[in-house]
Amino acid sequence: MAKKIDGFVKLMIPAGVANPSPPLGPALGQRGVNIMEFTKAFNAATEEMERSVPVPTVITVYQDKSFTFVTKTPPASYYLKKAAAQQSGADNPGREVGGTVTVAQCRDIAEAKMADLSANDLDQATKIIQGSARSMGYEVVE
């Protein structure tokens, strides 16, 4: 018989450096999950990734207080800021330019995020990433 699901917890956790401090500790603590067990499992699962990269994680908590988790690819905004060599996007997107990214960079980001995007092919995924770049205030150039 399958375990009964108690709930889901969605968090953005830095890769390889998860610790029981907020927001992770309180979110898992209120569900009764062993926080140290989760942090050890998460850090082991993300040890190949670059340290401190934000990783969207969906934690499934079962009624017996056990858990499973699924990690996704880092957000497009992280990749875009890295490609544009900027700390953040524009203060007023649409009115000012916060940096530039190339179509080739957008294509590389789309390849990395293809598993988490709702696109059927790489060209459509590239357009999604270009739209994210524009909404952050970056100029997309050839």
pLDDT at 18 over 80: yes
Query: Does the predicted TM-score (pTM) go above 0.85?
Result: yes
Q: Which domains does the chain have, with CATH numbers?
A: 5-71 (3.30.1550.10), 76-141 (1.10.10.250)
Residue 17: the pLDDT is: 93
% of the chain at pLDDT higher than 70: 99
Q: What is the pLDDT of residues 109-126, one digit of tens each?
A: 999 999 999 999 999 999
pLDDT bracket for residue 2 (50, 70, 90): confident
- Return d(Cα 17, Cα 1) in angstroms, integer: 35
Q: What are phi and psi of 104, to 5 degrees?
A: -65, -40
What pLDDT score was predicted for residue 20? 92
Condensed to tens digits (0 to 9), the pLDDT of residues 58-103 reads 999 999 999 999 999 999 999 999 999 999 888 998 888 989 999 9
Write down the pLDDT at residue 94: 84
Q: Give Cα separations from 106 to 46, 80, 130 (angstroms).
A: 24, 8, 6
Q: How far is CA 12 from CA 24, 54, 67, 102, 140, in A?
A: 9, 6, 17, 27, 27
Tally Cβ neighbours within 10 Å of residue 45: 17
